[in-house]
Amino acid sequence: MLPDLDVVGFRFGVPYGHLLGHRGLSHSIAFAVILSVCLAWLLPIAAQGSRLILFGFLFSSTMSHGLLDALTSGGLGVAFFAPLVNSRYFFPWRPIRVSPVSVSAFLSATGVRVLRSELRWIWLPAALVAGLLTLLRRSG
């Protein structure tokens, strides 16, 4: 959820399409790499753990946010290659209903439709994959 802290920029007049605007630098590959390197270096690690595996987990978690945003039905797209290129990208297939930025809009019928869409396209498939991986791990 950290990448979406960029919505604070709306309060300070940062335009949506700006490098620091919503779905800009904080949704980029560079941000995911830097955040993951810093956290993998700072976080305590178990005796048998690996900082490289921790980095991989943090990087894939952070990148999944932008990738899922690029599957949504609204906004300007995701600046995956910021700060080098501030072009915004979507995937050609965008089944996930975009979430409104304002709380009041989210607490309306629109919010219910967004949650239903996210349940269908994100949470249920993620739960299915997690369940299958758990079964595979227990059987192996």
- Chain residues in the site for Zn ion (CB under 5 A): 4, 69
CB of 65 to Zn ion, least distance (A): 6
Label residue 129 exposed, middle or buried (CB < 10 Å: 0-12, 13-18, 19+): exposed
Cα→Cα distances 95→4, 25, 33, Å: 20, 24, 27
Q: Which is nearer to Zn ion, 27 or 40 (CB)?
A: 27
Distance between CA 8 and CA 5 in Å, rounded? 6
CB of 72 to Zn ion, least distance (A): 9
Distance between CA 51 and CA 42 in Å, rounded? 10
CB of 7 to Zn ion, least distance (A): 8
69: nearest Cα among 139, 15, 21, 11 = 21
Q: Which is nearer to Zn ion, 40 or 80 (CB)?
A: 80
At 74 the three-state DSSP class reads: coil
CB of 139 to Zn ion, least distance (A): 36
Q: Which is nearer to Zn ion, 111 or 135 (CB)?
A: 111
Q: Which is nearer to Zn ion, 40 or 72 (CB)?
A: 72
Residue count (the chain): 140
Q: Which is nearer to Zn ion, 69 or 88 (CB)?
A: 69
Label residue 55 exposed, middle or buried (CB < 10 Å: 0-12, 13-18, 19+): middle
CB of 88 to Zn ion, least distance (A): 12
